[in-house]
Chains A and B, each alone.
Chain A
């Protein structure tokens, strides 16, 4: 079966711009969570969506937002990009949080 698909794989944006990243979960998975990975901070939880509702949010500024559609696909948006937002953004899907996760390949965002 198809895995978790993240698009785009690579992205270069300019400071002040906004960006939208997409994550298509495994069919039937209703939970989608997002993570940011940087060399300095490692992996950090951004937020989780379940059945179109944000169920949990990490300690990130309001510039980071997301949503989930009725088909469980999720998008995250970062507005007013800063250089420090350069990172690998990963999403993971699961049936529920009591099951294991399947991660996507990530979107590598570079802010210049």
Chain B
């Protein structure tokens, strides 16, 4: 079992729909990251969370430390949101450094 698991692996939505991507992890963490990767490879860091909830525009990320679970929500989805969304965690055992463990990613396609 992977330390970081995402669901679903693939997601197709119609423009305007509300989207949720889930991430579960099995280790104690000091931080969780949500990343976005477009075709061509470039990665954009969307959020870094250690507790609670963060919002940026139409994106919302939440984390429940006790349940070892995080969700990424996209409101009013748009075709330009089509990308791979990746969850990554930094283990609490990491006293220094930025070693991340990644989920396999969720391929999101938003159709017009």
Contacts and interface: CB of A to CB of B under 8 A. Distances in A.
A103 B99 contact: no
Interface residues of A, number: 28
Given A103-B45, A106-B41, A108-B41, A42 B98 contact: no
Binding site secondary structure of chain A: strand
A50 B97 contact: yes
B45 A101 contact: yes
A94 B98 contact: yes
A45 interface: yes
Contact of A37 (B41, B44, B90, B96): B41
Contact of B98 (A43, A97, A108): A97
A48 interface: yes
Interface of B: 31, 33, 35, 40-45, 48, 86, 88, 90, 94, 96-105
Interface of A: 31, 33, 35, 37, 42-45, 48, 50, 55-56, 58, 88, 90, 92, 94, 97-106, 108
